[in-house]
């Protein structure tokens, strides 16, 4: 495949392959976190359940008694004026919220404490754990001092309010009064006493409100009566002075004194007559203009006599025309008919003149009548305007009289209603179910506490797991090489246990060989000519599998019939000579020190099929040897002999060797240990390589364990040869 790729034209060579990691769905991501940190989550849940169990067993049992009351909507009002109070439909919520607030009022709590004699009850205060540090709670001769009764009443009320619950039933008028204490009998007594005292206080407020309202209304009635009398005197005096005479209006309201003036009535009547006269004049004028001085008018056409004459003339004209067909005009019969026709024409003209004269007379009469009415209307307008000017103050006095009368009558009616209802003790609150002595404790509830602990533990455990996931920077699976490091993934190599990497590479059916064959395949897409001819293999720190990766890549390339050399570039900690069974007396450091002959520095690894160069004697400072041009010269001379030069480079962190080597080769393969190094350190190492203008081809995830991979990847190296070998091993074992 590599040979074919290298022979392709430049326009047809494959572009570098970029492997993009698929974005993990959010549900799978959270499930992956949960499975990865499942033991932490389960531990937190178990601890929460244990704590809830211990706390529940140590808690003092408490008993809750409940009394149910019904709160009906009040409709009574002290004043019945529109706008003073909201209407019932919009004030229900406000009313009921007020009642709930009154149920939890401090005065009601202190009243209950006083009625049940809890203020001087030592057992009551001890039952709720009230200490006796306050002077009012210190016993004197076995009794509480009388001087501290007010303080004890306040404290007892606060205790009752802390243990009281008011729970309205949704969509109803029922309210449940709950009280919780360590004593079941005390809980029932307080709940019942609370309901009874609430009813009594409600009645007392009504009696007080009725008495106060009656006194207030009586004072307001006297004041309003005085204002009404004064406003009426002002109205009558002003009307007499200005000679304003008004008549009562028809359909006036009960609480108002609507009036109408004589001038306004006359003006309205004459104005109506004027409108009718104008209409009549317009109609007469239209008829007159239609005649135009001739008889061809609508009236003439509708006249019976004229129509009869015209019909007779038409008949005579027809007879005359018939005679003319046989005789001359001088014929006696023809002259007679002609004479009749002329007589009829004179009669028609006279009749039409009579109709026209009648129309003209009607028109003149209509004009005169309109002028007369117009003159009278103008006079009444002047009189009405003068009356309006003088009636402005009159109307002000009239409105004041109407307002005062309305207020007075309303107050008087309300005063009568309060006088009747004041002696009736109607209460809108009643007890539906009195509180019974509870037979079992309401708290603690073991099942509920354990459920709460389970939910809290789950949430806390999930939070801790999420925090640990954010803190953990280890590369867990192959997808994170692209997602977290931004490197194309060349492949993932499984962790080999119980066998040396060299031995695993010699077994062509091993999982290690399969993994590095995938790496070689991806390397073929990193450049236009296939696998880079010179490449180095490095890592962030030692023991991440870079030497094994370099050895494996050299092996797979050699098995692909390529001529390969493996150079041990780690002159500080050499390892390639161990794989070849030789020493490192001769190698890379000798060439960098000035030796030009390459052949004496090489040795063969016959079982793997390629040549190798050891690191040579360990120099005092390897970086100084790499800074010159000798290393680039070595790579250039080796590429004249070999198809590929693979360099086992030192780690990047803490050393300058790896960036120097990376800048002299075509590409760099970066190995990352799975679950073994933080992503920030890898990014720092990649940054050093980038600063050296190194071309990082991609990353290889080494020592990968599929069973420790995150959920959803399903990596399996047991397919194919490995699976068959495992099956055969199982058969032999059985």
Q: Which of 231, 235, 338, 356 is nearest to 287 (CA)?
A: 356
Q: Which of the two residues, 387 and 273, has the higher pLDDT score?
A: 273
Rounded to whole angstroms, the Cα distance separating 463 from 456 reads 10
Rounded to whole angstroms, the Cα distance separating 528 from 11 reads 10
Residue 58: how many other CB atoms lie within 10 Å? 8
> In 3-state terms, what secondary structure has residue 52?
helix
Rounded to an integer, the average pLDDT of 588-604 is 91
Task: Give backbone dihedrals phi and psi of 113, rounded to 5 degrees, phi first.
Answer: -60, -40
With b for 16 or more beta-carbon neighbours within 10 A and e for fewer, the 307-340 pattern comes to eebbeebeebeeebeebeeeeeeeeeebeebbeb
> In 3-state terms, what secondary structure has residue 181?
strand
Least confident of 36-45, 88-97, 296-305, 652-661: 296-305
Q: Tell me, what's the pLDDT at 729? A: 33
Q: Tell me, what's the pLDDT at 538? A: 93
> In 3-state terms, what secondary structure has residue 478?
coil
Rounded to an integer, the average pLDDT of 497-519 is 86
> Could you tell me if 488 and 15 are in contact, meaning their C-beta atoms sit under 8 angstroms apart?
no
Residue 696: how many other CB atoms lie within 10 Å? 19
The CATH class that applies to domain 481-733 reads alpha beta
Judged against a pLDDT cut of 70, whether residue 20 lies above it is answered with: no
Q: Tell me, what's the pLDDT at 95? A: 86
Burial (CB < 10 A; 0-12, 13-18, 19+), residue 131, is exposed
Q: Which of the two residues, 507 and 696, has the higher pLDDT score?
A: 696
Q: Which of 653, 650, 575 is nearest to 616 (CA)?
A: 575
Q: Which of the two residues, 40 and 91, has the higher pLDDT score?
A: 40
CA distance between the termini of the chain = 43
Q: How would residue 473 be classed by pLDDT, with cut points 50, 70 and 90?
A: low
Q: Which two tokens stand for residue 151?
A: 């303080």
3-state secondary structure 375-435: HHHHHHHHHHHHHHHHHHHHHHHHHHHHHHHHHHHHHHHHHHHHHHHCCCCCCCEEEEECC
Based on C-alpha coordinates, what's the Rg of the chain?
Answer: 59
List own/partner pairs for 25-33 with CB under 8 A and 24 or more apart. 28/711, 28/712, 31/711, 32/710, 32/711, 32/712, 33/465, 33/466, 33/469
Secondary structure element (H or E) that encloses residue 539, with its range: strand 534-539
Q: Which two tokens stand for residue 349?
A: 């003209």
Q: Tell me, what's the pLDDT at 192? A: 94
What does the domain layout of the chain look like in residue ranges? 259-421, 481-733
Look at strands 174-181 and 63-71 and give their pairing.
antiparallel
Judged against a pLDDT cut of 60, whether residue 223 lies above it is answered with: yes
Judged against a pLDDT cut of 90, whether residue 468 lies above it is answered with: no
Residue 249: how many other CB atoms lie within 10 Å? 12
> Could you tell me if 591 and 634 are in contact, meaning their C-beta atoms sit under 8 angstroms apart?
yes
Q: Tell me, what's the pLDDT at 708? A: 60
Helix then strand then coil, % of the chain, to nearest 5? 60, 10, 30
Rounded to whole angstroms, the Cα distance separating 157 from 112 reads 8
Q: Which of 69, 92, 88 is nearest to 428 (CA)?
A: 69
DSSP for 625-669, written as a single string = HHSSSHHHHHHHHHHHH-SEEEEEPPPSTT-SHHHHHHTTSSEEE
- In the chain, what percentage of residues exceed pLDDT 70? 80
Rounded to whole angstroms, the Cα distance separating 371 from 376 reads 9
Rounded to whole angstroms, the Cα distance separating 448 from 348 reads 118
- CA dist 490 to 509, 666, 686, Å? 20, 16, 16
Task: Give backbone dihedrals phi and psi of 93, rounded to 5 degrees, phi first.
Answer: -65, -40
Q: How would residue 3 be classed by pLDDT, with cut points 50, 70 and 90?
A: very low
Q: Residues in the chain, how many?
A: 734
What are the pLDDT digits (tens) for 321-349? Answer: 777 777 777 777 777 777 777 787 777 77
Look at strands 667-673 and 246-248 and give their pairing.
unpaired
Q: Which two tokens stand for residue 255?
A: 């609480």
> Could you tell me if 701 and 556 are in contact, meaning their C-beta atoms sit under 8 angstroms apart?
no
Rounded to whole angstroms, the Cα distance separating 489 from 705 reads 16
């Amino acid at each position: 495949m590599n040979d074919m790729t290298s022979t392709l034209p430049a326009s047809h060579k494959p572009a570098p392959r970029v492997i993009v990691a698929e974005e993990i769905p959010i549900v799978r991501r959270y499930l992956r976190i949960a499975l990865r940190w499942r033991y932490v989550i389960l531990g937190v849940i178990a601890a929460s359940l244990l704590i809830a169990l211990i706390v529940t067993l140590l808690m003092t049992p408490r008993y809750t008694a409940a009394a149910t009351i019904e709160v009906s909507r009040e409709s009574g009002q002290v004043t019945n004026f529109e706008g003073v109070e909201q209407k019932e439909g919009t004030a229900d919520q406000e009313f009921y919220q007020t009642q709930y607030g009154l149920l939890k009022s401090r005065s009601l709590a202190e009243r209950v404490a006083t009625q049940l004699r809890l203020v001087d009850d030592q057992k009551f205060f001890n039952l709720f754990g009230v200490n006796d540090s306050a002077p009012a709670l210190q016993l004197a001769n076995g009794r509480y001092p009388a001087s501290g009764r007010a303080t004890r009443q306040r404290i007892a009320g606060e205790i009752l309010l802390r243990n009281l619950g008011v729970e309205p039933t949704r969509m109803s008028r029922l309210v449940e009064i709950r009280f919780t204490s360590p004593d079941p009998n005390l809980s029932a007594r307080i709940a019942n006493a609370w309901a009874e005292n609430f009813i009594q206080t409600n009645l007392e407020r009504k009696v007080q409100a009725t008495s106060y309202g009656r006194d207030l209304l009586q004072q307001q009635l006297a004041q309003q009566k005085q204002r009404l009398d004064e406003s009426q005197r002002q109205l009558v005096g002003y009307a007499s002075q200005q000679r304003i005479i008004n008549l009562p209006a028809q359909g006036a309201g009960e609480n108002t004194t609507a009036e109408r003036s004589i001038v306004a009535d006359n003006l309205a009547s004459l104005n109506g007559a004027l409108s009718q006269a104008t209409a009549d004049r317009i109609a007469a004028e239209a008829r007159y203009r239609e005649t135009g001085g001739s008889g061809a008018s609508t009236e003439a056409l509708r006249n019976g006599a004229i129509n009869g004459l015209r019909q007779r003339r038409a008949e005579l004209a027809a007879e005359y025309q018939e005679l003319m067909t046989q005789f001359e005009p001088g014929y006696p019969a023809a002259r007679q008919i002609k004479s009749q026709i002329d007589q009829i024409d004179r009669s028609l003209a006279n009749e039409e003149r009579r109709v026209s004269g009648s129309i003209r007379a009607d028109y003149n009469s209509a004009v005169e009548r309109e002028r007369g009415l117009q003159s009278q209307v103008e006079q009444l307008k002047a009189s009405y305007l003068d009356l309006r000017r003088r009636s402005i103050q009159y109307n002000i006095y009239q409105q004041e009289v109407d307002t005062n009368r309305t207020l007075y009558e309303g107050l008087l009616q309300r005063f009568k209603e309060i006088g009747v209802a004041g002696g009736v003790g109607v209460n809108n609150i009643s007890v539906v179910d009195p509180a019974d002595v509870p037979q079992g404790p309401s708290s603690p509830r073991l099942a509920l506490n354990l459920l709460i602990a389970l939910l809290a533990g789950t949430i806390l455990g999930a939070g801790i797991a999420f925090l640990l996931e954010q803190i953990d920077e280890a590369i867990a699976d192959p997808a994170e090489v692209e997602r977290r490091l931004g490197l194309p993934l060349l492949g993932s190599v499984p962790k080999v246990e119980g066998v040396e990497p060299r031995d695993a590479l010699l077994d062509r059916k091993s999982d290690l060989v399969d993994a590095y064959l995938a790496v070689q395949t991806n390397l073929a897409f990193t450049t236009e000519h296939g696998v880079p001819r010179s490449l180095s293999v490095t890592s962030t720190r030692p023991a991440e599998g870079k030497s094994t990766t370099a050895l494996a890549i050299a092996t797979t390339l050699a098995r692909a019939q390529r001529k390969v050399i493996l150079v041990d570039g780690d002159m500080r900690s050499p390892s390639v000579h161990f794989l070849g069974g030789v020493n490192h007396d001769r190698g890379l450091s000798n060439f960098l020190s000035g030796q030009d002959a390459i052949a004496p520095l090489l040795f063969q690894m016959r079982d793997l099929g390629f040549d190798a160069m050891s690191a040579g004697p360990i120099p005092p400072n390897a970086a100084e040897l790499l800074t010159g041009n000798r290393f680039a010269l070595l790579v250039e001379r080796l590429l004249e002999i070999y198809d590929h030069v693979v360099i086992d480079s030192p780690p990047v962190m803490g050393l300058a060797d790896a960036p120097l080597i990376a800048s002299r080769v075509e590409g760099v393969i970066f190995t990352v240990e799975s679950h073994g190094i933080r992503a920030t350190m890898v990014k720092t190492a990649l940054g050093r390589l980038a600063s050296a203008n190194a071309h990082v081809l991609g990353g290889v995830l080494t020592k990968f364990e599929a069973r420790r991979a995150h959920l959803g990847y399903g990596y399996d190296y047991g397919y194919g040869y490995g699976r068959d070998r495992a099956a055969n091993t199982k058969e032999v074992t059985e």
